[in-house]
Structure 1
Amino acid sequence: MTFSFGFQLDDDNQGVTTNTTTIDTNVDESLHPWTDIKVEDLISQLPPLLSYSSVDIPHSSITPIARRDLFDARFQLIDADEDQAIISGDSDLIPGKYEGGLKTWECSVDLVQHLHQCQYDFREKKLLEIGCGTSLPSLYAYRSMLEQSGPKNAVIHFQDYNLQTIQLVTFPNIFLTWYITQFNKGPEGEIEINETIIEQFKQHLRDVNIELRFSYGAWKAINEHYDYIFTSETVYRTASIPTLVELIESSTHKDTITLIASKSVYFGVGGGVREFSDYVTSKGHSVDLAWSSKGSGVVRHILSFKL
């Protein structure tokens, strides 16, 4: 069975998913366990050429955020003879198999706008993005640190269900953010990857003292506290909300800023803001509304979670 709900990829709209997306429920949900992956392993997966364009952040002065072109990531999947369900894009979400991470989801753009308005300082902080995908919020945080002088002394932890997502878009997007900021490149183009550039990137991370961490697989309690936790469009299924909250609980201290960007409802699959809020309050935690969209269509929200 395939359900539809209110947002879809529009390849002509900067690859931002906004209208109608499909979810394939005919799949055996044997979940991959949470697994960490080293930066060196991700560097080894970079292709010789990266094609990129940029996502505009509407109604703001934010410089567009570069990310790898979707077609470029899919070509690499084809070359690697990966799962055709992921390559074809016929289903944007396949529970337990592919959670839509190759695409940029609308609420992640909302979250970037919100972070910019709040003017958070990410230096000397630890940040976790859950279900990161193309990872616009963390890319914004990373770039904002690069634009400030001196050591950053920061940790950014990127988590997604799919290893392919981290290999094909998350890490390449981080690399692109560094490269474009470092060399003042334009909002779209191609980058040739060679050993010289890779060594410059590694040296940059050492110089500014930014630790990049990566994990993939099913959510679980990790018992490590972060100063910022971000997640976008991860509450679309009611069944996944308890494990998401368990992960957030285990990663939060009393001063953690935890932001959840979501549509009010995801038709056909049961999740949404109300379901998430009800579960959080049933656990004795608080959730506040930080922002809501205006206008027609499905309303989008940003929620703030507190223990």
Structure 2
Amino acid sequence: MAFSFSFAGDDIDENESVGDQAANLPNSTGSILPQPQPSDSSASAFPVQGKPLLPPTHHDLSLMLSRLPSKIAYSTLTVDLEGGRGTIEIPRRELWDVRVQLMAEEENNESVSESQAGLGEHDVKTGIYEGGFKSWESSVDLVKVLASENAQQVLLRDPCFVAELGCGTALPSLALFQWAIAGRKNNTTATGESPSPLVLTLADYNPSVLYLVTLPNFILAWALEKREEVPVLEEAFTTCEGELELTADVLTAFTDFLTSSQITLSFLSGAWSPEFVDLLYSSSIVHGSTMASARPQTLVIGAETIYSPFALESFMNTLLTVLRRERNERPTGYAAAIIAAKKLYFGVGGSLDDFVDKMRAAGAVVDTLREESSGVRRGVVKCLLP
């Protein structure tokens, strides 16, 4: 099943899209990204009759870093925050740069077909490509809500575990990451205290999305925030405007920063399922002693994850499993989910109202945080378990 939402202004990448993207995409060395074997489970996120789905898989950060290209091109998206909070500039790897990388690797690897490396016209091809190369307007709505919910202060005050499901370009998590970087710098300068731990888990159905855009975007966010403080970044930015060289020294500085700042990045691919939740916990330090202290904050975020009834049901079950696990295992902490979506996905069947109704029927408390009535109607809701 393949379709396009076909809404004006829906894709904030100015009409560029990477669709029809098969799961087995080449990495920057010219070989195929390691792919798990499809699962026969029908409880996963995007079931297609007769088609197996990718099982949940954890991706090692050091291995992902080793497969990056020598440089990446980028642009920045300006998000106007509300309530006098100013703006935030969020970097994203250019889609044409992804295209160039994939086409170059296709030439060096005869086993990769043109359709695997090509950029098609579909927003989503169910069970194959789930839209992760695009940045959607609901993800910008989510950034604005996170700012209004004072996420910047929470990131400094308490140990935080954040999981973005269906992350794609990961705009909301990138905003949190940038606020954490700025907050750690200011807090360390003012108090000399060590920052509270932050675990960011980025999950997308397609491993290729994590390798080609999600991780590069995090490196870009760090580099732009720290370019005046880290000497190796000055040279890495000077070659060409809008490009960052990913030298060994740059990548080492990136991982050193994560360690010293107590920030953990974890990457998961595959379909949503109970096995996905188990991997979500086992692949992070969410149960470590540092996260068990004080009042741990757990936040699950997602944008454009409920576009079909199949996706809605699977996403909702995964969300409820996480919230129940948090309530049972860390009763002194705080756990919530903030979800952004369209009011209705025409021709596909998903809707935000349906999601809210089903969550409330399952016992969750759901509050509306934001509504957008201009253009395509959208909303952002917060979900809690009493």
- TM-score for both structures, normalised by structure 2: 0.71
**Corresponding residue for residue 93 of structure 1:** 124
User: 2:4 touches 2:121 (CA, 8 Å); kept in 1?
Assistant: no
Give distance in 1, aligned partners of 2:121 and 2:49: 14
**Corresponding residue for residue 313 of structure 2:** 242
Cα RMSD for the two superposed structures:
2.7
Q: In the alignment, is residue 35 of structure 1 matched against residue 57 of structure 2? A: yes
User: 2:166 touches 2:205 (CA, 8 Å); kept in 1?
Assistant: yes
CA positional deviation for 1:2: 5.0
Secondary structure of the 2:305 match is coil
Give distance in 2, aligned partners of 1:192 and 1:99: 29
User: 1:34 touches 1:216 (CA, 8 Å); kept in 2?
Assistant: yes
Give distance in 2, aligned partners of 1:131 and 1:91: 17
**Higher mean C-alpha deviation, range 50-59 or range 229-238:** 50-59
Q: How many residues align?
A: 300
**Corresponding residue for residue 294 of structure 2:** none
CA positional deviation for 1:303: 1.1
Secondary structure of the 1:204 match is helix
CA 1:278–1:29 in structure 2 vs 1: closer, same or farther (change >3 Å)? farther
Give distance in 1, aligned partners of 2:248 and 2:57: 27
User: 1:85 touches 1:91 (CA, 8 Å); kept in 2?
Assistant: no
**Corresponding residue for residue 192 of structure 1:** 245
Q: Percent identity?
A: 31
**Corresponding residue for residue 380 of structure 2:** 302
Secondary structure of the 2:124 match is coil
5+ residue gaps, structure 2, are 21-46, 107-111, 189-194, 229-233, 287-296, 328-333
5+ residue gaps, structure 1, are none
User: 1:103 touches 1:133 (CA, 8 Å); kept in 2?
Assistant: yes
CA 1:17–1:36 in structure 2 vs 1: closer, same or farther (change >3 Å)? farther
Q: Which amino acid aligns with 1:242?
A: E
User: 2:132 touches 2:167 (CA, 8 Å); kept in 1?
Assistant: yes
**Corresponding residue for residue 257 of structure 1:** 336
Deviations 1:136-169, CA, capped at 9 Å, x for gaps: 0000101101001343411000000000000000
Give distance in 2, aligned partners of 1:9 and 1:97: 24
**Corresponding residue for residue 69 of structure 1:** 94
1:46 to 65, 68, 80: 68
**Corresponding residue for residue 131 of structure 1:** 166
CA positional deviation for 1:16: 5.7
Q: Which amino acid aligns with 1:154?
A: L
**Corresponding residue for residue 219 of structure 1:** 272
**Corresponding residue for residue 226 of structure 2:** 182
- TM-score for both structures, normalised by structure 1: 0.89
Q: In the alignment, is residue 267 of structure 1 matched against residue 353 of structure 2? A: no
1:122 to 150, 155, 173: 155
Bigger share in helix: 2
User: 2:10 touches 2:137 (CA, 8 Å); kept in 1?
Assistant: no
CA positional deviation for 1:78: 2.2
**Higher mean C-alpha deviation, range 245-254 or range 134-143:** 245-254
Give distance in 2, aligned partners of 1:169 and 1:117: 27
User: 2:139 touches 2:340 (CA, 8 Å); kept in 1?
Assistant: yes
Give distance in 2, aligned partners of 1:4 and 1:172: 26
Deviations 1:26-81, CA, capped at 9 Å, x for gaps: 99642100100110111012110110001111355122101101111122222333
Deviations 1:261-284, CA, capped at 9 Å, x for gaps: 000011111001122122222322
CA positional deviation for 1:306: 1.6
Bigger share in strand: 1
